[in-house]
Amino acid sequence: MAEEFNEDYFIHTTGEEFIWRHLFAEDVEKPIQVTVGFFDQQENELVKSSDLTDITTEPTQDDGQGNEATYTRQTVQFASEFDVYLNADGNWEAQISVDPTFDVSGNTESVMSYFVAVEFGSTESTNGEGDLHLLWTGPLNQRYDLRKMDEFTKEGAFVGIDGDNQ
C-alpha cells in the first residue's frame, strides 16, 4: 500500500523521531532554531517518510537564465519565537509566533506549501549527522507565483496533534 500525503499540516517521520528522542530518550538536544522554506507539494508529492532532500521544488537562487534570485530559507528561534497552546477543539498546537519574510525578487517558481526543518542526527535518514530534516510541512492558503512579488511573508505556521493522529 502506497503512502499518502495529507495536504494538511503533516509531521514527517524525521519530525516524529526528533520529538520522541528529545522528549523521552534525551539523546537529541533541542536546537536553537528551526529553518522555514517553501516548495510545491503538487510537484513533489511528499509522503510521511519524505525528508528535506526529497524537496526538489524549493525556489532557487538562480532563475535558470544566469540571473540571480534572492530566495533563502529563514530561521526561527525555538526559545522566543514559538507559542504552544490548547486550541478551541481541545488539541495542543505549536505555532511560530513571528512571521518570517522571504526576499523572493528574481524568483520564477510557484509555491503552495511550506516546510519547517530541524538540525539533528537522524537515524531515520541517510543524510548524515547534523543535517536538516523535515519536522513538519503544511499548505499555504493558495498557490503563489513568486514572479509577481518581491517579498513573501509566511503567516501562521503551526502544527497540532489531536486524538485522530495515528
Domain ranges, ordered by start, for the chain: 10-161
pTM: 0.81
Which pLDDT score, from 0 to 100, does residue 4 have?
Answer: 40
Which pLDDT score, from 0 to 100, does residue 63 have?
Answer: 56
Which pLDDT score, from 0 to 100, does residue 7 have?
Answer: 53
Q: How many CA atoms lie within 13 A of 55 on its CB side?
A: 26
Which pLDDT score, from 0 to 100, does residue 37 have?
Answer: 93
Q: What are the residue ranges in the chain where pLDDT is below 50?
A: 1-6, 163-166
How confident is the model over 98-126, as pLDDT tens digits? 888 999 988 888 999 999 998 888 887 76
Which pLDDT score, from 0 to 100, does residue 57 have?
Answer: 92
Which pLDDT score, from 0 to 100, does residue 165 have?
Answer: 39
Euclidean distance between CA atoms 8 and 137, whole angstroms: 8
Which pLDDT score, from 0 to 100, does residue 105 have?
Answer: 87
Q: Report DSSP letters for 70-122, one per residue.
A: ----EEEETTTSEEEEE-TTS-EEEEESS--EEE-TT---EEEEEEEEEES--
Which pLDDT score, from 0 to 100, does residue 6 have?
Answer: 43
Give the H or E element holding residue 26: none
Grid coordinates given for 85: 497552546
The 110-119 sheet, strands edge to edge: 10-11, 132-145, 110-119, 33-39, 74-77
CB 51 within 8 A of CB 134: yes
How confident is the model over 20-37, as pLDDT tens digits? 777 777 677 778 888 999
